[in-house]
Amino acid sequence: MRHLSFRTQSANEKIVKRDWYVVDATNQTLGRMASRIAATLRGKNKVYFTPHFDTGDYVIVVNSGKVILTGNKLEDKEYQTYSMYPGGQKIEMAKEMIHRRPNLMIERAVKGMLPKNRLGRAMVKKMFVYEGAEHPHKAQNPKEMK
């Protein structure tokens, strides 16, 4: 009997085709939207997904200020930063953050769902978040992400 050798093809730059997607955050739940974006940035929607290689797509998020938080998160959720100096801890409530810096809320939610290494830091650079409905990436012909 003849021996057939099948090898699993590992993803590389020649194989990977990166698409551009646009996500409208209007009336979308923050966590559910962030998990879909994180999966797309990682490339989990591709048949040739490889955990150790960046196979993900680019994602543009528009209308970031119109994202919604369920339950009491608007009043209860806290965002903490620390400057590493004594007394340098700052706490900002989600209600203040969504008015002041809604882009940061989405960026932090997605970044927390990506790997905590060089690969994750490279993946998060493929996400662009805008407060308004306009974005400067028209030339890439982004597709609407459902």
Dihedrals phi, psi of 127, to nearest 5 degrees: -110, 135
- Is residue 55's pLDDT more than 80? yes
Dihedrals phi, psi of 91, to nearest 5 degrees: -120, 130
Model pLDDT, residue 5: 66
Matching residue, tokens 């150790």: 52
Percent of the chain with pLDDT over 70: 97
Mean pLDDT of 5-9: 75
Angstrom CA distances, 69 to 6, 42, 101, 131, stand at 48, 24, 15, 16
Comparing 4 with 119, the larger pLDDT belongs to 119
- Is residue 41's pLDDT more than 80? yes
Tell me, yes or no, if the pTM score tops 0.85. yes
Tell me the C-alpha distance between 104 and 131, whole Å: 10
Instruction: Give the model confidence (pLDDT) of 100-146 as tens digits.
Output: 999 999 999 999 999 999 999 999 999 999 999 999 999 999 999 98
Which residue ranges make up each domain of the chain? 20-144
Mean pLDDT of 17-40: 96
Model pLDDT, residue 11: 87
Q: Among the CATH numbers 3.40.50.150, 3.40.190.10, 3.90.1180.10, 3.40.30.10, which is that of 20-144?
A: 3.90.1180.10
Report residue 144 as tokens.
């609407």
Instruction: Give the model confidence (pLDDT) of 59-95 as tens digits.
Output: 999 999 999 999 999 999 999 999 999 999 999 999 9
Model pLDDT, residue 105: 96
Pick the closest to residue 40 from 67, 11, 20 (CA basis): 20
